[in-house]
Each structure stands twice: as C-alpha cells, then as structure tokens.
Amino acid sequence: MKIWLDGELVDKSQAKISVFDHGVLYGDGVFEGIRAYNGRVFRLEEHIRRLFDSAKAILLNIPYTQEEVIQFTVDTVAANDLKDGYIRLVVTRGDGELGLNPYLCPKASMFIIASTIKLYPEEHYTNGLALITCSTRRPAPGAMMPQVKSLNYLNNIMAKVEAIQSNALEAIMLNEQGYVAECTGDNLFILKNGVLITPLISDGALDGITRSVILQLADRLGVPVKEQSMTRYDIFVADECFLTGTAAEVIPVISLDRRIIGDGKPGPQTLRFIEAFREEANSTGTPIV
C-alpha cells in the first residue's frame, strides 16, 4: 500500500509522523473521508473545499492549493490501483513543541490513505439498523464548532462506545437542548407523510456531503424536503428512517430505543434513495487517471 505523505508516495511501513506532531498530542488537525466508485472519486471537489473550510476555521494553513490536493488524492488512489475504495485525507498542525501553542508548529503535515472500509455488516443494508439514543451529547457550537471535521473525535467515540455496549451499531446524539443532531458518524433522515425531513445544521448536524447529495436527489425524485429541529418523538412516529455518510453511504433504520419505525422494514422511499444514490455514485466523479 502506498501512502501520500508530505509530498511523497511512500510504502505503508515508511508512513510515519513525529510523536511531537500536535495532531497526535492534542487532536489538532482536520480530515475528510472520501469515496471512490467505478474509477471515479465521488464529490472530490466538495470534500476538498470542506477540508479547507475546516482548516481555515481553526487557523490551520494547508501548504497546498485545493487543486493540488485534488491531484494528490487522485494520484494516491491510482498508486494503489483502486477503482472502488475509501480515502482518508488528514492535515495535522505538524511537528512542534510540547504545550498547546499551535504557533510553535512551523508547518502543517498532510497524509492521504487510499484503502477500503466496511462500516456496517452487509445484512443491515438489507434489513436495517436498530438505533439507540446515547447520553453523550453533541458539543455545543461555543465549545466545538460542529462544522469543523477535526481530529478531536473523542465525543463521537464515547457515543459509539455507548451504542456498542447496548448491542447497537449506531446511536443518535442529541444537542444540549434535547434536539436530534446526528448519529456518531452519520446524518439522519426520516420520511413522514411523503416528506423527507432532516435536522437543522444549527442543531449540531454536520453539513455532510452525502446529506447534500440526498437533498439534491430528493428534488430529482420529486420528494418534498424539510430541514427542521427534530426530537426523538419525530423518529418514533416516522414512516421511514435512514442514515447517510461517506463511509455508511445510505443505510435504512428500523427502530430507535426499541420503538419500531414504520413496519419494521426498510421503506419504499428509503429503497428509492438507496438506488438513486448508488446510481449517482457509480456514474459521476473525478476520474482516476
């Protein structure tokens, strides 16, 4: 496996960063998860734009242009001879001194991994997921800006631990006001009376790339959309529910906290969105050359 690291493609065994890197010491950095389908990188420009936005928000200077990072990403996928795969692009604050001061790190470090990922077992894409609500809350915007995809993911990890300890694969995270924000790594959608509904970004949801694709597909499929504050009740009484994310793609949900959603099976509209997403993902994107 070849890893792109600070301007070079190196073997996996040689892909090393300093123990003084502030990404390791303090979670100081940003990342993107990106997918490749059928010889194309899906929504690559959008992902790189969001990466640079996240970096700008935390005053992290990426020492390359967006166009260069796009090319580095394609080069890494090509070097690993992948037509379908998962890409993890990480920018750290870089090597520095002990202590929180980021200005003691003279240059950011960047690496790109192109491999594969399987977030959920295949049977759950057919039969659906059972969710729980976790007690770990989504950080308030004043503490951690939810739109920044930072390396500090401990909050999400603790929520995932709660899910696993409850024999669930995924958990819903609420904000401090008790509204639904998102899951530990995915955005959430419900369908009620023919309307597609998803939480507001201002309630703590990440402005997900796959989320945006689903909103675009809804327009194409003629499904009306509402972005609004949601409570657990809205999910309990929904006709259908599904999650979206780069790694998860689109996956049905059949229950929350032991309340059956709809008839307990992936709904017909959910299946339409899954089919439309797969068609979009496999027919568009930046060619891997």
d(CA 199, CA 217): 17
Q: Any bridge partners for residue 287, and if so which?
A: 40
Phi, psi of 31 (to 5 degrees): -155, 170
Pick from 229, 261, 225: which is nearest to 242 by CA? 261
Q: How far is CA 198 from CA 2, 72, 205, 287, in A?
A: 38, 34, 9, 31
Asked if 2 is an active-site residue, the reply is no
The one catalytic residue among 149, 192, 226, 265 = 149
Q: How far is CA 131 from CA 108, 157, 281, in A?
A: 38, 16, 26
Pick from 189, 183, 225: which is nearest to 204 by CA? 183
Per the CB < 8 A criterion, the answer to whether 35 and 281 are in contact is yes
Tokens of 126: 């057919």
d(CA 242, CA 251): 5
Which residues are known to be catalytic? 149
